[in-house]
Amino acid sequence: MSEIREQQRLTKDERDRRVLELCEQVSEIEQRLIPTGLHVFGRASADDERADLLRMVASFDRPETGARALPQLIEEGLAFNPTSHETSPTGDAARLSEKSLQAREQVEAITREAVGRFLRDGSEAASAWLETRARVPVFESLRVFALLEKIETQLRDNQELDAFARALRGEYIEPGPGADIVQNPAILPTGRNTHAVNPYAVPSDLAYARAERIVKLLLERHRAEHGRYPAAMALVLWGLDNIKTQGEGVAQALWLLGVRPVRDGMNRVNDVEAIPLEQLGRPRIDVVMTVSGIFRDLFGATMGLLDRAVQCVAALDEPPESNYVRRNIRARMESESCPFEEAALRVFSNAAGNYGTNVNFMVMDSQWEADDTLADLFVTRKCFAYGRDAEGRALEGREARAALNGALARVEATYQNIDSFEIGITDVDHYFEYLGGVSKAVEKQSAARPAIYLSDTLSREVKVRSVEETIRLETRTKTLNPKWYEGMLKHGFRGVAEIESHVANTFGWSATADAVDEWVYTEVAETFLLDKQMLERLGQLNPHSARSLAARLLEANGRGFWRPEADVIERVRESLVALEDRLEGVA
Ligand code: BEZ
Ligand code: MG
């Protein structure tokens, strides 16, 4: 009722703005690249998947081959204003005019058509069409298509099984970089030995440049929503992500602190220097870095660099309102009479040789009663400090529970960079164990739930989203999207397990961050359990996972994450009983 009344009060401008916002959201869902099935080892991707991948590859500048982003070339050819693509940090569509939305749709459509023509008729025909249709210079589009041609050939040529057999025979497997195709097409052909990264090259210049923009959006969004910059932020840093992006997460931490990397004579990043406040134009934000065991193992030098960055900022003689790191360290030294070295610890990971937070296991096994249990588990696993002590000795993972708790107590926002098109926060349990886990720990230590943000630096439009928005988007594009789940169901047993796993991971976000709208569970129930035909399909393909899905929904209800009408719960319970009967051979 109240919503209807509110809508009647909207002025025409407000209504137009809301419609534009909705339009923006629908187009975001439509444009998102989603995996429509699992990778089958040794099998090349299908034609339509290849077309989608090539379109994404063509949407980015490729300085290494001189190919420019195709949508950008089309915008220039049609004389559209490219800045119209930027949304404001709050996702507010006020700045998005109807015209710019239409322009974007047109650019997307032309890009799609051009890639389709390239696949059907070849480079020259596609280039000629692009010149006529959007005045894209032929030499520019030919560069793009030359790259696509190479990738297309490599995608068809799948050497995975062959390389696997060679590895089993103890033969040499050529090395190649690890990333996703869109980020770095040089990973093709697949079926090679993945080589990692030189930690002294991190962050790359490109990663540092990209991080400036994302940090700006992140802080602007926080300010728009909370009226000020966060006093401190907790960041999750992962190893594989920083390999793929050459250190974007690391660079984001440096930008928040307001420092830049310094390279030595051998071009190795081995120090930082402060960016002057006048240049930075905002306060230095305090950051607590909770780092995965994989990151710790791969990026030893970088762990030291991050610690040095904090020490560098803490030592600056700047006013407290401009240097939150110094302000927070001082406050803690005074309130808890703890020494500087303790109050300045900011880089935390597992104890040497340990990995993970175990929060995912506790949630999946339903082994917790109070929220504090999850918060404490996170801290127990991650309270090992890295960096150097006052005498310059490496800490090597010294247990520092009070230091981590003290640092988390001042955190107001938590954040993680998403680096992959394929893996989102409901695809695996690691996002909620880390970002959800640290958020729960902050909630306990600071007595307030932090704002939780994720960024998506892969699409052309860099986006900062709240965890709630990210879950809505992934639910729409994956879990509840027939294209996605039908793609999964083609894999039979494993496909049902994937669907169940998405629901369980979504549940993990309720458990750690109270971040899931109730409609998500209602629609999951309606789509997979309350639809008789679907229930029968799932039951036949994989009754074990289908049963777990039903049990998870009932648990969501039992824990108060989902409170639908009683008859819905009754019907979910009936589906659970039917699946159990099937498993026991009764039905
Ligand atoms: C990592 O790359 O650091 C990572 C990967 C998977 C789970 C957790 C961390
Ligand atoms: Mg709730």
The residue whose CA has the least distance to atom 8 of ligand 1 is 430
Whether 417 lines ligand 1, by a CB cut-off of 6 Å, is no
> What pLDDT does residue 6 have?
59
Distance 359 CA to ligand 1 centre (A): 14
Which is it for strands 413-418 and 232-237: parallel, antiparallel or unpaired? parallel
The separation between the first and the last C-alpha atoms of the chain, rounded to the nearest angstrom, is 45
* pLDDT higher than 50, residue 100: yes
Structure tokens at 388: 């150097």
> What pLDDT does residue 89 have?
46
Alpha-carbon gap, residue 381 to 401, rounded angstroms: 10
Distance 44 CA to ligand 1 centre (A): 26
Distance 295 CA to ligand 1 centre (A): 7
Ligand 1 atom with least separation from CA of 294: 3
Smallest CA-to-CA distance from 287 within 342, 247, 332, 232 is with 232
Alpha-carbon gap, residue 13 to 72, rounded angstroms: 30
For 478-514, write each residue's pLDDT tens digit. 999 999 999 999 999 999 999 999 999 999 999 999 9
pTM for this entry: 0.88
Whether 208 lines ligand 1, by a CB cut-off of 6 Å, is no
Element (H, E) at 519: helix 518-524
* pLDDT higher than 50, residue 94: no
The ligand minimizing its distance to the Cα of 245 is 1
Ligand 1 atom with least separation from CA of 434: 8
The residue whose CA has the least distance to atom 7 of ligand 1 is 430
> What pLDDT does residue 75 have?
94
Whether 292 lines ligand 1, by a CB cut-off of 6 Å, is yes
Ligand 1 atom with least separation from CA of 295: 3
Distance 380 CA to ligand 2 centre (A): 26
CB 454 within 8 A of CB 420: no
Distance 59 CA to ligand 1 centre (A): 27
CB 119 within 8 A of CB 152: yes
Q: Centre a 10 Å sphere on the Cβ of residue 559 and count the other Cβ atoms it contains.
A: 14
Structure tokens at 393: 């000795």
Alpha-carbon gap, residue 587 to 585, rounded angstroms: 6
Percent of the chain with pLDDT strictly greater than 90: 73
Pocket test for ligand 1, best of 194, 202, 236, 238 (most atoms within 8 A of CB): 238
Distance 328 CA to ligand 2 centre (A): 31
Q: Return the DSSP state at 394.
A: B
Alpha-carbon gap, residue 343 to 469, rounded angstroms: 34
Protein residues placing their CB within 5 Å of the ion ligand 2: 514
For 354-400, write each residue's pLDDT tens digit. 999 999 999 999 999 999 999 999 999 999 999 988 888 888 999 99
- 393-409 in b/e form (b: 16+ CB < 10 A) is eebebbebeebbbbbbb
For 404-460, write each residue's pLDDT tens digit. 999 999 999 999 999 877 789 999 999 999 999 999 999 999 999 999 999 987 666
Q: Looking at residues 187-203, what average pLDDT do you find?
A: 85
* pLDDT higher than 70, residue 91: no
CB 30 within 8 A of CB 7: no
CB 377 within 8 A of CB 439: no
Least confident of 114-128, 134-148, 447-461: 447-461
> What pLDDT does residue 20 have?
86
Pocket test for ligand 1, best of 235, 430, 431, 505 (most atoms within 8 A of CB): 430
Alpha-carbon gap, residue 365 to 359, rounded angstroms: 10
Distance 521 CA to ligand 2 centre (A): 12
The ligand minimizing its distance to the Cα of 296 is 1
> What pLDDT does residue 37 have?
80
Distance 293 CA to ligand 1 centre (A): 8
* pLDDT higher than 90, residue 212: yes
Least confident of 51-60, 120-129, 194-203: 194-203
Pocket test for ligand 1, best of 194, 202, 236, 240 (most atoms within 8 A of CB): 240
Ligand 1 atom with least separation from CA of 292: 3
Q: Looking at residues 214-240, what average pLDDT do you find?
A: 97
Percent of the chain with pLDDT strictly greater than 70: 95
Pocket test for ligand 1, best of 292, 297, 417, 432 (most atoms within 8 A of CB): 292
> Where does 227-299 have alpha helices with state H?
239-244, 248-257, 277-280, 293-298
Q: Return the DSSP state at 358.
A: S
The residue whose CA has the least distance to atom 4 of ligand 1 is 238
The residue whose CA has the least distance to atom 6 of ligand 1 is 430
Distance 511 CA to ligand 2 centre (A): 10
**Which pLDDT band, with edges at 50, 70 and 90, does 5 fall under?**
low
> What pLDDT does residue 529 have?
98
Q: In this predicted model, which residue has the larger pLDDT, 31 or 286?
A: 286
Whether 294 lines ligand 1, by a CB cut-off of 6 Å, is yes
The ligand minimizing its distance to the Cα of 236 is 1
Q: Looking at residues 224-253, what average pLDDT do you find?
A: 95
Smallest CA-to-CA distance from 177 within 186, 168, 167 is with 186
Structure tokens at 567: 């008859």
Whether 465 lines ligand 1, by a CB cut-off of 6 Å, is no
Element (H, E) at 56: helix 47-57
Distance 255 CA to ligand 1 centre (A): 22
Ligand 1 atom with least separation from CA of 243: 2
> What pLDDT does residue 196 have?
67
Angle of helix 493-513 relative to helix 467-474, nearest 10 degrees, comes to 160
The burial of 338, by beta-carbon neighbours within 10 Å (0-12 exposed, 13-18 middle, 19 or more buried), is given as middle
The ligand minimizing its distance to the Cα of 449 is 2
Distance 564 CA to ligand 2 centre (A): 12
CA-CA-CA-CA torsion for 391, 396, 398, 402, nearest 10 degrees? Answer: 80
Alpha-carbon gap, residue 430 to 18, rounded angstroms: 34
Which amino acid belongs to residue 508?
G
Structure tokens at 516: 């899931």
Pocket test for ligand 1, best of 294, 297, 429 (most atoms within 8 A of CB): 294
